[in-house]
Amino acid sequence: MTTMPHRGPVLRIALGMVLASSVMAGCGTQAQSATVRPSEASSSTGSPARSSASVADYRTGPLIPLAKADRWRPALEQELGRSDPWPYAVLEIAYSAHAARLAWQQNLPPGQTRRTGLPSLPGMYGSLDDVDMTTQAVVVFSSGQSGSCPDWLADVQVQSSGSVKLTTDAGTHKQPCRMDYREYRLVLAVDRAKLPQETQLPIRSAILNGSVPGNGVLIRTYPAI
């Protein structure tokens, strides 16, 4: 993807340092910047990531992966291309069946490989038919991951204060994680009890892995158009 005009050397270095500090901390729930591109990021390494999730958690838990794809949705990239700067990550929630169908259609590339287990690789892990819209909503999480330690959205929590905490997980890896940045989008079925109410959106300062990234994390309804 073409580097956006606002992503100058100073900003890239600063955000690279944020990513580096997260990886060096050695935790699987590492925050990553949506403004650093693979060609621009450092190839340095940090400590191995750790995982707190299991395959069973993901097939029966409150967050169930349905599909994962490289890069962000083209329409989202085009929309954000007009903003300065881009959010650190974007969480879009499809509350209605109509929006859920659009989210599925617009985020699942053709010819996806069917997969099972933790959603570390691009592929189709489930189906829209798996979603019970009375108790779940379809969520699209757009973020970035290390090329050697791919991650995914592992938890969403709405605090009593109304703030929203997002947590990612990168699984368990024997090798150190590279500090490059590979964009991805992940489609999930999430229990509605884990999500903010539609009337609370948009939220522009969600907490990601314990802190609010400088560019913010945007949570909004999925564009049902």
Residue 1 within a domain: no
Residue 4 within a domain: no
Residue 3 within a domain: no
Cα angle 21, 27, 30; round to 5: 60
Per-10-residue mean pLDDT of the chain, 225 residues long, equals 35 37 38 35 37 52 93 92 82 97 96 93 95 97 91 94 93 81 94 96 93 90 80
pLDDT at position 4: 36
Give the predicted TM-score (pTM) of the model. Answer: 0.77
Residue 205 within a domain: yes
Instruction: Give the chain's domain count.
Output: 1
Region of 113 (left: φ > 0; alpha: ψ -120 to 50; beta: rest) is beta
pLDDT at position 171: 80
Residue ranges making up the domain that contains 79: 9-221
SS in 3 state form for 61-75? CCEEEEEEEECCCHH
- Collapsed DSSP state (helix, strand, coil) of residue 164: strand
Q: Give the residue carrying structure tokens 């690789």.
A: 121
pLDDT at position 225: 52
- What does residue 39 show for φ and ψ, rounded to 5 degrees? -75, -15
